[in-house]
Structure 1
């Protein structure tokens, strides 16, 4: 396969899925991972992707795409992450769950016999939990942002300030062992920071493409993470950095 053909396939995959993995591409193309890494370096130099550990992500960060577009990305991985996250929840807890496609999968995975109080600024998550008989659901109102799929702004912050949670199930845009949890939107980051401040602990379920990446707006320091739920293929070196800062790692 010619170099230009490989590059076009990589661009197509990035457009649809938002990420590529070097190992998978090497198997598909029948070339070495060094060859794929060289392809990714060339595409990154041309501004057509952004290199991350193990592969690349779309140049316009996929995590910053509208929530409706992200919902169809890595569905199986997010379902597994959700199933691994649910055992961390305990009967009678109060949770903050903010917006995000992985968090929506977690909401769908909550058992019908688990009684919780859930406060969310996500209309999708509120809808998912609306007929859950044992969940006391609190919708954190405010200005609804269609791109984020969430309520943000002063009214949302005021609602968050009235509550305290046992756990905050935090939807992460970027997660790095030195910079911590980050987000692409300043107003969204402000709501996330308020939820983190009013919670006794943070739980994050994250796909591999978000590890070792960072967005512009800081949400929480890495040592604030109590539980980190990751794919079985998550890089051990990255996870070790989080473990050293106090996070308990759970594999999906």
Structure 2
């Protein structure tokens, strides 16, 4: 059987089951484990499937893609947004960041800053900014999710609610005329709390989010100070942002 034919057969089987053990795939297709792993590799690299421990799945079967894969998506746009926002943050200021790939890019752009106070639920952001340049980093406590290295839940929300910061910055799962949306209730609740703690309230999102349908409403445009993205949003969204007296910044 040709590899391209097996690729199609793998996708057909996953469309039926959503996810399968690699050993089961090999048995169903009558090939060795080594062969099936070799077939899965290009599918995973292209984003057609997701690899897990001993299994493989369609992205739609697992909801939002794992953190590492999302860091590669729209990476140039996210870096441009991060550079833009980093220029608006001064040494010695305080900021609160929720977990997200764009906020993780921002953390890396802040490595040249000094004496920042950072509050986050992201182990990635905490690891990047802790113990450098005199920064003080506080991370919300609770169970760490294996997919994103982030913490959510009541204890995390109660922790961050103790702080008031210069810049509260969240990422967005989707943006439509109603405002900012996400895909999970606990993530939306955390992001909403982050925004409530900042004197400046910023949403960072790459332009691909304007084409997505979110599930959970985080906030309206009237609840933010600024929306920062890499390309102009649809006209109706841009008008809704300005009508809410929020700023729209196109990075670059």
Cα deviation, residue 59, structure 1? 8.8
Q: TM-score, normalised by structure 2?
A: 0.71
Number of the residue aligned with 2:231: 232
Contact 1:201 1:224 in 2 (8 A): no
Distance 2:60 2:246 in 1: 29
Matched, 1:187 2:186: yes
Q: How does 1:1-20 map to 2 (within 5 A)?
A: 16=46
Number of the residue aligned with 1:241: 240
Cα deviation, residue 181, structure 1? 1.4
The size of the alignment, in residue pairs, is 202
Q: How does 1:124-143 map to 2 (within 5 A)?
A: 124-143=124-143
- Paired residue secondary structure (1:143): coil
Aligned CA-pair RMSD:
2.8
Query: Structure 1 pair 68/221, CA: closer, same or farther in 2 (3 Å)?
Result: same
Q: How does 1:26-41 map to 2 (within 5 A)?
A: none
Distance 2:112 2:61 in 1: 35
Deviations 1:204-240 (A, max 9, x none): 2211110254422222221112111111354444322
Query: Structure 1 pair 67/165, CA: closer, same or farther in 2 (3 Å)?
Result: same
Which protein has the larger Cα radius of gyration, Structure 1 or Structure 2? Answer: 2
Query: Structure 1 pair 194/61, CA: closer, same or farther in 2 (3 Å)?
Result: farther
Contact 2:174 2:181 in 1 (8 A): yes
Q: TM-score, normalised by structure 1?
A: 0.71
Number of the residue aligned with 2:123: 123
Matched, 1:250 2:243: no
Contact 1:174 1:181 in 2 (8 A): yes
Query: Structure 1 pair 172/123, CA: closer, same or farther in 2 (3 Å)?
Result: same
Number of the residue aligned with 1:72: 72
